[in-house]
Amino acid sequence: MTGWDKAAPGLAAALLLLAAAGSLFIGRVDMPPAEVLRALISPEPSLAGLVITELRLPRAILAILVGAALGLSGAVLQGLLRNPLAEPGLLGVTSGAAVGAVAAIYFGLTQVFGLAAPVMGLVGAMAAGAVTFAFGRGGTLSLILAGSAVSGLMAALLALALNFAPSPYAAYEITVWMLGSLSERSWDHVVLVAPFIVVGLAVLGRMGRAIDALALGEVQAASLGIDLDRTRLMALVGVGLAVGAATSVTGAVGFIGLVAPHLVRPLVGYEPSRTLVPSALLGAALLLAADIATRVIHTSSELRLGVVTGLVGAPFFFWLILHLRRTAP
């Protein structure tokens, strides 16, 4: 090990700061940096000030929260399952959140109440997490199987909603929501999901010791005093709260949770607990960067966040497969 393991959190934090600054300074509306700074500091209201404090700032904060939720959840799940392909959607909460939000659109609740989609998304994520827990108790394999069964059911419900969409417009709205986006998100969204994400992150952040011991396999971890049932429950609750809330407000955003831990791992000597904080920071930085990309790449209709992370993340996935094939015995 070199000094990298000590430097990794700092490096990830620096990237995050850079991306956060970029997110404030770069946008659809061209604004000279001096004006952005003045808008951030000066209390007097101005158009530039409104753009920064009411549009870009909440959007950046939301990107940080969601990215951190995805990055940390990915790191914890990969550590828990000792599987480099584990990702936050594995436990069914992501698709549960999608079903909740889509139900809000389907039944027209979003027309009545602006935050209906994220609120219903939260409900959907919690319900999906509860079902996964009910069926997945007692073992890691049953937890994964329950998660994939719940994901399958939720995918069917999404298809059902599209099938019976009340109008082509509703179908379009549902499809677009599922592509993931951070545009038109306000402080209301931040206030709604931040508590869930923060509590989720706090739960996941305490799992370092358990996933370190799991590097020796489940039996040895248990012999070292790790309560495996409690560990699995903590992972489900943490991922359910953090990723469930994140997905309910942004829609499905893939690959961040898969990629961030992989980029961090070699720098920290593969120690599972040391991947946690840098993965959260890097996840946030990656999501900010992806969101900036949706703003600077000018397209006829808005380029969606989930599309960007997918397009950038999928090639990484191919690389990962090749890499695993080379290194696996």
**C-beta of residue 272 within 8 angstroms of C-beta of residue 226:** no
Q: Using the rule CB under 8 A, is 38 a contact of another protein?
A: no
Residue count at the site for another protein (CB under 8 A)? 21
Q: Which of 3, 225, 299, 326 binds another protein (CB under 8 A)?
A: 225
Closest CA to 254 of 117, 73, 99: 73
d(CA 296, CA 249): 22
Q: Which stretch binds another protein (CB under 8 A): 38-46, 119-127, 175-183, 212-220?
A: 212-220
- 86 near another protein, judged by CB under 8 A: no
Tokens of 212: 């370190």
Q: Nearer Cβ to another protein, position 28 or 209?
A: 209
Applying CB under 8 A, which of residues 28, 38, 82, 137 lies at the interface with another protein? 82
- Contact between 1 and another protein by CB under 8 A: the answer reads yes
Task: Encode 21-70 in three state secondary structure.
Answer: HHHHHCCCCCCCHHHHHHHHHCCCCCHHHHHHHHHHHHHHHHHHHHHHHH
Q: In the complex with another protein, which residue's Cβ is closer, 81 or 103?
A: 81
Collapsing DSSP states into helix, strand and coil, what is residue 145? helix
Interaction between residue 220 and another protein (CB under 8 A): yes
Nearer to another protein, 35 or 212 (CB): 212
* By CB under 8 A, residue 209 contacts another protein: yes
| Residue 22: closest CA among 64, 83, 50 | 64
Selected from 14, 18, 191, 224, the binder of another protein by CB under 8 A is: 224
Give the range of 32-40, 165-173, 207-215, 312-320 binding another protein by CB under 8 A. Answer: 207-215
For the segment 265-284, give every residue that binds another protein (CB under 8 A): 269-272
Cβ closest to another protein, residue 81 vs residue 127? 81
What is the rounded distance in angstroms from the CA atom of residue 5 to the CA atom of residue 10? Answer: 10
- Measured CA to CA, the distance from residue 239 to residue 73 in angstroms comes to 6
Interatomic CA distance for residues 127 and 97, integer angstroms:
9
Q: Is 9 in the site for another protein (CB under 8 A)?
A: no
Nearer to another protein, 42 or 223 (CB): 223
Residues in contact with another protein by CB under 8 A are 1, 82, 209, 212-217, 219-220, 222-227, 269-272
